[in-house]
Amino acid sequence: MQSLRMWILGATLVTLPAWAGQPGMPAAQSLDLGKMTCKQLMRGNDADRDAGLAYFNGYFAGKRNNLVIDAKAMTELTDRVKDFCLSNPTSTVLDAFAKAEK
């Protein structure tokens, strides 16, 4: 479990500069992920998008105090998030996850 957490943290830290360099994203040392739009997340390459989806999935799991990784449920949730984001590019990723969880 510890190695998975470290992988997610590492993936997030590695991809933050890529997200920050995208059009419409600030080129700053910090990034407010609460303001990240679906369009910004979906514009990333596959690795950046997957890391972002894993990060947000972990964020929501942490809010629910859920420490169990269910790969099937995670895949289904991220598929719903992707579908929502494609239809609602100006929504935030946080809103996409909140709506996809329902």
Summarised one tens digit per residue, pLDDT across range 26-40 is: 555 677 889 999 999
Number of structural domains, the chain? Answer: 1
- Residue with tokens 């799991």, as numbered in its chain: 61
Residue 98 pLDDT more than 80? yes
Q: What range does the domain containing 85 cover?
A: 2-101
Q: Collect all residues with Cβ–Cβ distance below 8 Å to 21 and sequence separation of at least 6.
A: 27
Kindly report the CATH number assigned to the domain that includes residue 26: 1.10.890
Per-residue pLDDT of 63-82, as tens digits, reads: 889 888 899 999 999 999 99
Which DSSP string do the residues of 17-29 spell out, in sequence order? HHHHTSTTS--SS
Phi, psi of 28 (to 5 degrees): -120, 175
Q: Collect all residues with Cβ–Cβ distance below 8 Å to 79 and sequence separation of at least 6.
A: none
